[in-house]
């Protein structure tokens, strides 16, 4: 970490600051220039409160040189992490094709969709049981019954399942769930992350709507620092000024995260865009950008003429996407 001190800082003030930093077990290397004084801080700077340091009157600017995440950092773990779940693998050249309905509704629905997407090449089944909703009056999912139905679909198809947890008090219900999802709104629910770090289940960690990629990696670090290194990162759109799409899908997250971290990166184009006609192009783009997986909403409700064109795709639409995704992967391999 480097701290640049303001012009006009007195030697006494510099000494005060250096003493304070040494107190935190840091080595401090002072470089006195004509215009500025630069302090190089050597040691475990991950514990330094960078905001406090920046806010000191004498400090012009502070810059981390080494990233504050360690276990998620590719520098210390050059090889890609490969996460195994059932017969599926994610990362290091293995691709996760995750598909399923937004919400689990009933047994027929979930088994039918699971069977269809498996046939098209999906290797993981998704489905919402606990649904975080902006309004307290909105439908919040089938909850434990939803998980029970997902497990039936898992049994029927052999597909491993991923579903979202909202509260650590429900962890028991996830005993037979293969991957536990942390939603965007809980990305910085640090107590939840720490508890999930004590399990040995793969965690699919979604990026918060206004969180930087470094913050995403710091949240992964919360899980990993408790002993669970099976973290899958997921980009699902960030909040910007643009209103033509629900959120702005940040596909540069794929190569950026790959350069910073060894963890696999999955893209969710369904939630980011909010329109079915955007899901396919963004799924292809995510694949071409080098993602380790995509996560697609698929419904199967022939009776509901309305649902065509909604955020969810039909099984035949998913089938075409899955096919082209495989072809794009061959091109960029």
**Span 107-166, contacts to its own copies by CB under 8 A:** 132-139, 166
Residues 6 or more apart in contact with residue 242 via CB below 8 angstroms: 248
182 near its own copies, judged by CB under 8 A: no
Nearest to 125 by CA among 87, 93, 91, 92: 87
Contact 279, 247 (CB under 8 A): no
How far apart are alpha carbons 21 and 176 in whole angstroms?
Answer: 48
By beta-carbon proximity to its own copies, the closer residue of 16 and 89 is: 16
How far apart are alpha carbons 71 and 307 in whole angstroms?
Answer: 43
CB of residue 52 vs its own copies: minimum separation in angstroms? 6
How far apart are alpha carbons 248 and 114 in whole angstroms?
Answer: 29
173 near its own copies, judged by CB under 8 A: no
Q: Which of 74, 121, 171, 290 binds its own copies (CB under 8 A)?
A: 290
Q: Got the DSSP string for 275-321?
A: SHHHHHHHHHHHHHTT-SEEEEEB---TT-GGGTTSSSBPHHHHHHH
CB of residue 70 vs its own copies: minimum separation in angstroms? 8
Burial (CB count within 10 angstroms: exposed 0-12, middle 13-18, buried 19+), residue 200? exposed
CA dihedral 225, 166, 124, 292 (to 10 degrees): -50
Encoded one letter per residue, x for contact with its own copies by CB under 8 A and - for no contact, window 71-110 reads ----------------------------------------
Site for its own copies in 265-284 (CB under 8 A): 272-278, 281-282, 284
CB of residue 181 vs its own copies: minimum separation in angstroms? 15
By beta-carbon proximity to its own copies, the closer residue of 88 and 224 is: 224
CB of residue 96 vs its own copies: minimum separation in angstroms? 18
- Candidate segments 85-93, 105-113, 119-127, 300-308, binder of its own copies by CB under 8 A: 300-308
CB of residue 82 vs its own copies: minimum separation in angstroms? 20
Site for its own copies in 41-60 (CB under 8 A): 42, 44, 46-47, 49, 51-52, 54-58, 60
23 near its own copies, judged by CB under 8 A: no
315-332 and 276-288 helices cross at what angle (nearest 10)? 20
- Candidate segments 27-35, 84-92, 108-116, 153-161, binder of its own copies by CB under 8 A: 27-35
Encoded one letter per residue, x for contact with its own copies by CB under 8 A and - for no contact, window 203-242 reads -----xxx-xxxx--x--xx--xx-----------xxxxx
CB of residue 113 vs its own copies: minimum separation in angstroms? 17
Residue 94 DSSP one-character state: B
At 119, is the secondary structure helix, strand, or coil? helix
């Amino acid at each position: 970490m480097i701290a640049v001190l303001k012009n006009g800082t007195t030697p006494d003030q510099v000494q005060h600051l250096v003493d304070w930093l040494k107190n935190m077990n840091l080595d401090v290397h002072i470089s006195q220039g004509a215009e500025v004084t630069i302090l190089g801080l050597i040691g475990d700077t991950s514990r330094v409160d960078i905001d406090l340091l920046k806010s000191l009157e004498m400090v012009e600017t502070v810059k981390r040189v080494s990233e504050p995440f360690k276990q998620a950092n590719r520098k210390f773990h050059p090889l890609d992490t490969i996460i195994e779940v059932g017969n599926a693998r994610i990362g290091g050249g293995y691709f996760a094709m995750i598909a399923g309905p937004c919400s689990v509704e009933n047994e027929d629905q979930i088994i039918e969709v699971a069977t269809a997407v498996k046939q098209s090449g999906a290797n993981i089944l998704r489905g919402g049981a606990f649904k975080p909703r902006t309004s307290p009056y909105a439908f919040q999912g089938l909850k434990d019954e939803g998980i029970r139905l997902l497990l039936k679909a898992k049994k029927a198809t052999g597909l491993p399942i991923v579903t979202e947890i909202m509260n650590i008090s429900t962890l028991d219900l996830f005993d037979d769930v293969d991957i536990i999802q942390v939603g965007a709104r809980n990305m910085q629910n640090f107590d939840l992350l720490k508890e999930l770090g004590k399990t040995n289940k793969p965690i699919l960690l979604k990026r918060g709507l206004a969180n930087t990629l470094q913050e995403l990696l710091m949240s992964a670090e919360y899980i990993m620092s408790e002993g669970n290194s099976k973290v899958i990162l997921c980009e699902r759109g960030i909040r910007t000024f643009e209103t033509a799409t629900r959120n702005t899908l940040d596909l540069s997250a794929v190569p950026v995260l790959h350069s910073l971290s060894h963890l696999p990166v999955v893209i969710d184009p369904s939630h980011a865009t909010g329109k079915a006609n955007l899901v396919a192009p963004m799924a292809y783009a995510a694949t071409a950008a080098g993602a380790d997986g995509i996560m697609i909403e698929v419904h199967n409700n022939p009776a509901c003429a309305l649902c065509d064109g909604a955020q969810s795709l039909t099984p035949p639409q998913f089938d075409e996407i899955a096919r082209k995704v495989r072809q794009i992967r061959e091109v960029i391999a």
